Structure 1
Amino acid sequence: MADEKIVIGAGTKYPLNGILTIPDQTNGPTPAVVLVHGSGPSDMDQKIGENAPFKDLAEGLSEKGIAVIRYDKRTFVYGKEMRNDPGVSVKVETIEDAIRAADFLRKDERIDATKIFIIGHSMGGMLAPRIDAEGGDFVGIIIMAGSPRKLEELIMDQNDQVLNSLNRLLKMIAKKQIASLSSKFDNIYRLSDEEAKSTPVLGKYIRAYYLKEMGEHPSVDYLNGLDKPVFILQGEKDFQVSIEKDFNGYKKLLGDRPNVTFKLYPNLNHLLMPSVYGDILKAKKEYKVAQHIDRQVIYDIADWILSV
């Protein structure tokens, strides 16, 4: 395979460094995927602790004859400028660049423009159907450890998981903090856009508008009308999204559709790597253990892409 340095959004306000990984041997134009990050600032490898899942995907899929494009997330490079912008949304942070990456691939003669896919991980998986609808125009969508729910619902679930693990005194303190957060979330959709832009909800910089804008474009709305191939996968030991509410939530929504494939992987965590602690309180320790995406996950994704 060959790693080529590229720039996504060259000539725009937010150019981003990236890598296009091209398979060594191809018979004509090759299929390709755009990798879309989860929440928070991330480099092109989506480095989390000692793990680099996007690098694993790029190397593994290219070995199977599939080109992969990955790039630094906008908030990773321009976070300082963007956090002072009250109008930051997932559209600005993620969606625009994923569409630019798809357009970049279409202009490359080595890529089969009719075989461009998106792989969204975590929040990237939540956004993948919207990215497709707003201009990505992919032939198929792969959702890794995503959710059909709203972001604030996931945040509350994760907080509740932590709460249930605390001792009595800490639980009393945390309960008040979580109740306060819950009331902020409950009020988000009652705010006008301008009010939401001036209302912080998570720390100093994440404003209500970020959640409101995303929540007003729910993944479910895009999935309901989707007839192109979709592959939804998750690890059984994922403590950041739920089998019951998320994986099975997708199944409840799409389970009878012939265009949708589901796979749940035993003993894999949120990064589709072997589970170490399986505890949300030990998330940092979990990701400090250097690992790689399970090979079966990469083989399954490659087989699915090549079958479409």
Structure 2
Amino acid sequence: MPAGVTEETVVVGAGTAHPLKGILTIPKDTVKPLPAVVLVHGSGVSDLNEAAYAYKPFRDIAYGLAEQGIAVLRYDKRGYSYPQEFMGTAAASVTVKEETVEDAVAAAFLLKQDKRMDAGQVYLAGHSLGGMLGPRIDAEGGNFAGLILLAGSPRSLWEIAYDQNMRVIAKLDDSIPAKAEAAAKVEAELARAKALSAMTDEQAKAAPAVFGAPAYYFKEMDQHGTAELARKLTKPVLVMQGSDDFQVYADADYPLWKDVLKNNNSAEFKLYPGLNHFFVDYDGAGAGTPDEYNVPGVVDARVIKDMGQWVLKQSR
């Protein structure tokens, strides 16, 4: 931990059915109310560092922002702390509301109640799925001063899953018999995903999984479309994207954000050459595949500096 930073353990959602362990990272020797940031995880089961492979991106961001005079709250994801609620028959009716949204709103509330924080300067920084959900979390009670969307997308999650699968298949040699078979399976998944909008909620809960996730999970997300919610935003938004991201795309999702937010004069966009989905700079063996995530790396200092400067600019 950097010398000018201190940390304390907190509970996000204290008194609810799902209290979560959190860490509040704050700059030492502060006298004025602080601007603060809630970090919101990407897909899957994540601890408070959003530890994935050899990375701990939320730790990196928390330290780097605190060094710039900004408090940061990170916390274990509900699926990490209460895995039984996301498995078996329970999984069929789980949505991002239970998985992510409610706890991010609770985290924002915790910061706003802390007298050391400036309640009017609490921001969301969402990564990947957390970036996609940023506008919804804001609308459903987060009421943030601004949003930082890191490698998020305004598209449907199933569209991204389709693209991810097809881009992997496209790299296979055409002489491999399984290539066409794999492509056909992915196309069939896409057709099932597109059919969800015509289903009732109960039908979706009973439907087979789509792209490895419960069908209702996708349907419920589409009922709160990211693009639709983002178009209504007038508050400051910072969209950040790595050019070497092979999960969310600099050539598809990033320009789409620019279109969705074109009427928001407070929206800014930053594209980082050479950075991957976790904003790590990597150009060695396995680059462009999940293998690169196994090589230890940290979030690029430029990204954290830009995040901090953006927050401080809003809060002046």
TM range (shorter): over 0.9
Which residue of 1 is the match for residue 10 of structure 2? 6
Which residue of 1 is the match for residue 269 of structure 2? 262
Aligned pair 1:126/2:132, yes or no? yes
- Please point out which of 76, 83, 99 is paired with 1:72: 76
Which residue of 2 is the match for residue 153 of structure 1? 159
Aligned pair 1:245/2:252, yes or no? yes
Aligned pair 1:180/2:192, yes or no? no
Write the mapping of 1:129-208 to structure 2, written as runs, cut at 5 A.
Answer: 129-167=135-173, 168-202=176-210, 206-208=213-215
Equivalent position SS for 1:243: coil
- Please point out which of 50, 57, 61 is paired with 2:61: 57
Equivalent position SS for 1:41: coil
Q: What is the total number of aligned residue pairs between the two structures?
A: 306
Q: What TM-score does the superposition give when structure 2 sets the normalisation length?
A: 0.93
CA shift at 1:218, angstroms? 0.6
Q: What is the distance in 2 between the residues matched to 1:278 and 1:229?
A: 38
CA shift at 1:281, angstroms? 6.8
Per-residue deviation, residues 172-204 of structure 1 (Å, max 9, x unmatched): 221232122112112111111011111132477
1:61 and 1:185, CA in 2 relative to 1: closer, same or farther beyond 3 A?
A: same
Aligned pair 1:108/2:114, yes or no? yes
CA shift at 1:18, angstroms? 1.0
Aligned pair 1:26/2:30, yes or no? yes
Equivalent position SS for 2:268: strand
Q: Which residue identity lines up with residue 127 of structure 1 in the other structure?
A: L
CA shift at 1:46, angstroms? 0.3
Write the mapping of 1:266-281 to structure 2, written as runs, cut at 5 A.
Answer: 266-276=273-283
Q: What is the distance in 1 between the residues matched to 2:47 and 2:74?
A: 9
1:11 and 1:56, CA in 2 relative to 1: closer, same or farther beyond 3 A?
A: same
- Please point out which of 34, 48, 54 is paired with 2:52: 48
Counting aligned pairs with the same residue, the percent is 44
Per-residue deviation, residues 258-300 of structure 1 (Å, max 9, x unmatched): 20010100100000110335978721x1111111111011110
**More off after superposition, 9-18 vs 298-307:** 9-18
Aligned pair 1:232/2:236, yes or no? no
Q: What is the distance in 1 between the residues matched to 2:30 and 2:117?
A: 10
Which residue of 2 is the match for residue 298 of structure 1? 304
Q: What is the distance in 2 between the residues matched to 1:195 and 1:304?
A: 44
- Please point out which of 85, 93, 101 is paired with 1:87: 93
1:278 and 1:199, CA in 2 relative to 1: closer, same or farther beyond 3 A?
A: farther
Which runs of 5 or more residues in structure 2 are unaligned?
none
Q: What is the distance in 1 between the residues matched to 2:246 and 2:24?
A: 31
**More off after superposition, 174-183 vs 95-104:** 174-183
Equivalent position SS for 1:237: coil
Which runs of 5 or more residues in structure 1 are unaligned?
none
Q: What is the distance in 2 between the residues matched to 1:139 and 1:14?
A: 26
Q: What is the distance in 2 between the residues matched to 1:143 and 1:230?
A: 7
Q: Is the 8 A contact 2:246 2:289 kept in 1?
A: no
Q: What is the distance in 1 between the residues matched to 2:145 and 2:25?
A: 19
Q: Is the 8 A contact 1:9 1:16 kept in 2?
A: yes
Q: What is the distance in 1 between the residues matched to 2:237 and 2:285?
A: 27
Q: Which residue identity lines up with residue 18 of structure 1 in the other structure?
A: G
